[in-house]
């Protein structure tokens, strides 16, 4: 298990104050879990990963791996990177071009202090090459590998040392879209089969949702939410998470009250009064922002039956885009434009009226942004 507590890492600058890259970062990744640090560029995710690896020296906090403290500002502990027994794969694979696939994978074993004999090295190397599907290319020159094969070779080189924890810094970012999608399955398979605790850094939301057991979303050096992919997507903690993960509709509103029978809140919005859900208690009169995913804005040409537990509305199709397996609709409801994702069988023309259904459990109330809250108060 990896445990990170109160981690702060900063960079000194020639002019001005130091840059705080990681701020009070704390999380636990249980043994065998695929844990992802997700966020936009400059949010502190790579700095956090490099601090875990020992490539950056934090200013404060504690890092513990499987019961062994590898960094602690309070105890004055800093274990060098080469003694942490962590494997790491970077964005650039750093493959030795003059070596074969086998030689690249064997290199870490040949230079380590307690060197194994040739047969032991060969056994370990072929085992990891088999795991990443490169055993049949062991004698091929590394320069003759495709991008995906080079990525798997870099992974094999990290695995051959049998690390306690695997650290991956956007390893798929250099691959094209189709290969990246294929490698997601490969990475997930390898991680599952080896049962290796993995810390993964990416800015790609789809990648994080596809690979992870748990995700920590970061912004401005801080973790703003930790949860399973489904929780992060369906129950975002704030507007930043909802906006960063996928696509969503935002509707500002004011809380009217709580319905004890349904355990839902009623919120007044520009498209009418809606029943919504919230993980945090909401006070009457409080400003909120609703997040509703496009696939949860259900469209139908038929008049929907009255149902007090379903949010019903109607609007006009303003625009639509055919994407093959789905059609994106823009539906205008009053002054609000809603995005809906529907099956291609729905062929309502632009300009026609259409009916809308929204499950209250999919309408998530989030704390209003400061500017919205100030406007509502005024």
Rounded to two decimals, the pTM is 0.88
Query: Does 65 have pLDDT greater than 50?
Result: yes
More confident residue, 288 or 133: 288
Query: Which residues are CB-neighbours of 159 under 8 A, at least 6 positions away?
Result: 87, 128, 131, 132, 166, 190, 194, 196
Mean pLDDT of the chain: 90
- Both tokens assigned to 139: 């004698």
CB environment 88-124: b (16+ within 10 A), e (fewer): bbbeebebeeeebbbbbbbbbbeeeeeeeeeeebeeb
The model's confidence at residue 176, banded by pLDDT at 50, 70 and 90, is confident
Q: How many residues does the chain have?
A: 378
Quick check: 94 pLDDT over 90? no
Domain 247-377 class in CATH: mainly beta
Instruction: Please write the tens of the pLDDT for every residue from 114-147.
Output: 778 888 899 989 988 888 888 999 999 988 888 8
CATH annotation of 2-240: 3.40.50.300
Q: At what angle do helices 177-194 and 118-131 cross, to 10 degrees?
A: 120
Q: Do domains 2-240 and 247-377 have the same CATH topology?
A: no
3-state percent breakdown (helix, strand, coil) of the chain, nearest 5: 30, 35, 35
307: CB partners within 8 A, 6+ apart:
none
Mean pLDDT of 339-365: 95
Section 210-224 average pLDDT: 96
- Domain residue spans of the chain: 2-240, 247-377
Q: Is the pLDDT of residue 304 over 70?
A: no
Q: How high is the pLDDT of residue 378?
A: 45
**Segment 6-43, tens digit of pLDDT:** 999 998 877 778 889 999 999 999 999 999 999 999 99
pLDDT at residue 372 greater than cutoff 60: no
What DSSP state is assigned to residue 127?
A: H
Angstrom distance (rounded) from CA 43 to CA 298 = 35
- Residue 203 has a pLDDT of 94
Query: In this structure, what token pair is assigned to residue 273?
Result: 């009064």
Mean pLDDT of 204-229: 95
What does the pLDDT read at residue 370? 62
User: For residues 128 and 159, is the Cβ–Cβ distance under 8 A?
Assistant: yes
């Amino acid at each position: 298990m990896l445990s990170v507590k109160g981690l702060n890492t900063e960079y000194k600058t020639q002019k001005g104050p130091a840059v705080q890259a990681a701020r009070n970062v704390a999380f636990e990744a249980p043994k065998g879990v695929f844990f992802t640090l997700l966020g936009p560029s400059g949010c502190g995710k790579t700095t956090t990963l490099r601090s875990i690896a020992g490539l950056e020296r934090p200013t404060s906090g504690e890092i513990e791996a499987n019961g062994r403290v590898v960094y602690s500002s309070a105890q004055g502990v800093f274990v060098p990177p080469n003694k942490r027994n962590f494997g790491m794969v970077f964005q650039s694979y750093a493959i030795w071009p003059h070596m074969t696939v086998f030689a690249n994978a064997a290199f870490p074993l040949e230079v380590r202090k307690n060197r194994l004999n040739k047969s032991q090295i060969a056994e370990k190397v072929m085992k990891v090459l088999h795991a990443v599907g490169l055993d049949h290319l062991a004698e091929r020159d590394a320069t003759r590998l495709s991008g995906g094969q080079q990525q798997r070779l870099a992974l094999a080189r990290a695995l051959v040392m049998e690390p306690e924890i695997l650290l991956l810094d956007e390893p798929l970012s250099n691959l094209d879209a189709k290969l990246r999608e294929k490698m997601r399955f490969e990475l997930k398979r390898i991680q599952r089969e080896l049962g290796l605790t993995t810390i993964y850094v990416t800015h790609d939301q789809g990648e994080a949702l596809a690979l992870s057991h748990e995700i920590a979303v970061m912004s401005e050096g801080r973790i703003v939410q930790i949860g399973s992919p489904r929780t992060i997507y369906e129950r975002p903690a704030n507007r930043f998470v909802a906006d960063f993960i996928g696509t969503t509709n935002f509707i500002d509103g004011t809380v009217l009250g709580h319905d004890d029978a349904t355990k839902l809140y009623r919120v007044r919005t520009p498209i009418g009064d809606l029943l919504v859900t919230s993980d945090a208690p909401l006070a009457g009169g409080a400003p909120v922002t609703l997040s509703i995913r496009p696939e949860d804005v259900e469209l139908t040409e038929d008049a929907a039956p009255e149902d007090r537990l379903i949010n019903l509305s109607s609007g006009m199709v303003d625009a639509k885009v055919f994407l093959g397996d789905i059609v994106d609709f823009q539906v205008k409801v009053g002054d609000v434009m809603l995005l809906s994702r529907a099956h291609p069988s729905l062929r309502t023309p632009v300009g026609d009226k259409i009916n809308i259904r929204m499950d209250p459990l999919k309408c998530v109330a989030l704390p209003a942004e400061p500017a919205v809250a100030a406007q509502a108060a005024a």
